[in-house]
Chain A
Amino acid sequence: MSALSRCQDSLSRLREGAGVRVEAVNEPSPRPSPAGGRGSEAEGIAPPSLRRATEEPAWVRRSLIAVALLFLALFLFVPLAAVFYEALKKGAGVALAAITEPDALSAIRLTLLTALVSVPLNLVFGVAAAWCIAKFDFRGKNVLLTLIDLPFSVSPVIAGLIYVLVFGLQGWFGEWLRDHDLKVIFAVPGIVMATVFITFPFIARELIPLMQAQGQEQEEAARVLGASGWQIFWRVTLPNVKWALLYGVILCNARAMGEFGAVSVVSGHIRGQTNTVPLHIEILYNEYQFAAAFAVASLLAGLALVTLVLKFIVERRVLQQMRVATQAGEQAS
């Protein structure tokens, strides 16, 4: 229930509401209808500029837009631009060298591997959780929903810490792991687990509201017609939720590749071995290799831009599926 999920929630409500905004009042006719002999006189005068009763004066509108844009430029756009500027300040060659040196490449590989493991895991979980929450009526559903959101409200640092407490040398399984020569903390498995924790709710949070809105009539019809469970899922449910699923995967992947705090606690920062891209950026930065740090950072900034674009494209489709579902629901009731 964090933040992000809430915003997703609100977003989905925004999607529902987007289609139904009613135009306020009919545009008032700019000129009074010529009545009596004054008509011709009125024709010559420029029509007074009228605005709707529910609109602000133009100067208010303009200054509000200016304030909003200025704030966004200062806090969002300029930092983004700064990443690319700083990356290329010493030339594209330096940037390229920083990205292609062995430690950077191994960090990129590890980040891709982490995302490649944690996103599918959370995908399977998201589908399973959404299936039982949206299609069945059972006791404890609200508790389950709250628990699914829990990782959003836990600080990333604490997310890393709890895995150290379980799998670290001093932890619950520490001795057992050491005896069996297994390494979780300060190794790749710990990085993957911390990432799974951080990105845990993303896909479930996207699927649940949509599947709840869609109800279970279609699946029930398929069942009555003799479809098996798998057939129902692949042919009925999945096509209905594919965009929301993709949306969740996009968000989950962006966070998995960019996670810093949680991974930093469990990684041990071993260069070339347990460094993800964000951690590699930190090391370069702390060694005052600013150009290299920003060059690697520009990779992640590029990923963020791609994420925003994909999000923008997919969001509309999700909106569309949500609207169809709510309309069908309204007709049914």
Chain B
Amino acid sequence: MILSRVLLRRHSVLPGFDIALGFTLLYLALIVLVPLSAAFLKTFSGGWAQFWEAVSAPRVVASYRLTFGASLAAAVVNSFFGLVIAWVLVRYEFFGRRFVDALVDLPFALPTAVAGIALTALYSENGWIGQWLKPLGLKVSFTPLGVFVALTFIGLPFVVRTLQPVLEDLAAELEEAAATLGASRWQTFTRVIFPVLTPALLTGFALAFARALGEYGSVIFIAGNLPMVSEITPLLIITKLEQYDYVGATSIAVVMLIASFVLLLGINALQAWSRRRQGGA
């Protein structure tokens, strides 16, 4: 009864508010909030100096560089190809379009460990793809390039699925107006369509980037996990944990958590912008 008296803005005839909200909050606290707060409390139990030492060790910094760098590269590549794929799926009719559309969600549905071993097999030196890259001097499996490939796989649907609805909603009148005013198709795209897509494209980019930062399962098989070279930050957390270095593991985790939360805020802002842009278009 207390919840409804304190929180409800408007009285409702419907029953169940107290019990539903009470259960929601309890479950949220038990599953998410309390365990997450444990990470922050544990980190600072060791003091600032210990925290700083853990998060700034050369091996850890190298892992940040790889994780953030490969995630960024994968998100950029996904933004480009994701735009092309979303465009093709929304605008063109071709044989197998619906099949392809459904397949785009595969990285969401395929367990990451399966994706990991499949990509490793494909890109190893005698794999289907790796054997063609070898003569070119490109080694993918067990190198940072492999990390990039796995993160590209993981991130693709985010860009496509964020762009698709915006492309669907794009007002045809704008393009027609541009055409009647003498714009070429390319000019219409760069000056009329692309600006409308920008917020959604940035959102998709940020979502793919955020997902890639935390990714573990698909990466560890293909990365080779050499310290300082191809070791991602989530793996380092597990390594520290296995050495019973709880403060070390948690300190790195807190750095990653803060990065994800900042991204989360950024994504929220981007989405608000995107909605305003769409509403205005």
Contacts and interface: CB of A to CB of B under 8 A. Distances in A.
Contact of A261 (B112, B114, B213, B267): B112
A282 B188 CA distance: 50
B175 interface: yes
B267 A75 contact: no
A128 B24 contact: yes
Contacts of A281: 113-114, 117
A258 B111 contact: yes
Contacts of B72: none
Interface string B101-116: 0111111111111110
A193 B31 CA distance: 8
A220 B207 contact: no
Contacts of B102: 308-309, 311-312
Interface SS majority for chain B: helix
Contact-size category for B: 35 or more
B23 interface: yes
Nearest to A167: B35
Interface string A308-324: 11011000000000000
Contact-size category for A: 35 or more
A77 interface: yes
Contacts of B100: 68-69, 72
Contact of A164 (B6, B10, B175, B241): B241
Contacts of A24: 172, 175-176
A54 B168 contact: no
Contact of B161 (A11, A282, A309): A11
Interface in B69-126: 81, 84-85, 87-89, 92, 94, 100, 102-115, 117-119, 121-122
A172 B246 CA distance: 13
A158 interface: yes
A75, A129, A196: which has the most chain B beta carbons within 10 Å?
A75
Given A56-B185, A82-B118, A153-B263, A68 B81 contact: yes
Contacts of A166: 34-35, 38
Contacts of B267: 1, 6
Contacts of B15: 223, 228-229, 232
B114 to A, nearest CB: 4
A187 interface: no
Contacts of B215: 155
Contacts of A311: 102, 105, 109
Given A65-B88, A224-B13, A260-B111, A125 B23 contact: yes
A197 to B, nearest CB: 6
A258 B216 CA distance: 13
B241 to A, nearest CB: 6
A294 interface: yes
A170 B247 CA distance: 11
A156 B214 contact: yes
A220 B12 CA distance: 9
A76 B107 contact: yes
B164 A10 contact: yes
A265 B239 CA distance: 10
B156 A75 contact: yes
A311 B253 CA distance: 34
Interface in A8-63: 10-11, 13-14, 17-18, 21-25, 53-57, 60-61
17 contacts: A4-B108, A7-B158, A11-B161, A53-B180, A78-B122, A83-B117, A124-B23, A128-B23, A129-B20, A137-B9, A150-B264, A154-B36, A157-B235, A165-B39, A281-B114, A300-B113, A308-B106
Q: Which 4 A-B pairs have the closest CB atoms?
A: A258-B111, A155-B214, A53-B179, A14-B165
Interface of B: 6-10, 12-17, 19-21, 23-25, 27-28, 31-36, 38-39, 42, 81, 84-85, 87-89, 92, 94, 100, 102-115, 117-119, 121-122, 127-129, 152-153, 156-158, 161-162, 164-166, 168-169, 172, 175-176, 179-180, 185, 188, 200, 203, 207-208, 210-211, 213-217, 221, 234-235, 237-238, 241, 244, 246, 249-250, 253, 256-257, 260-261, 263-264, 267-268, 271
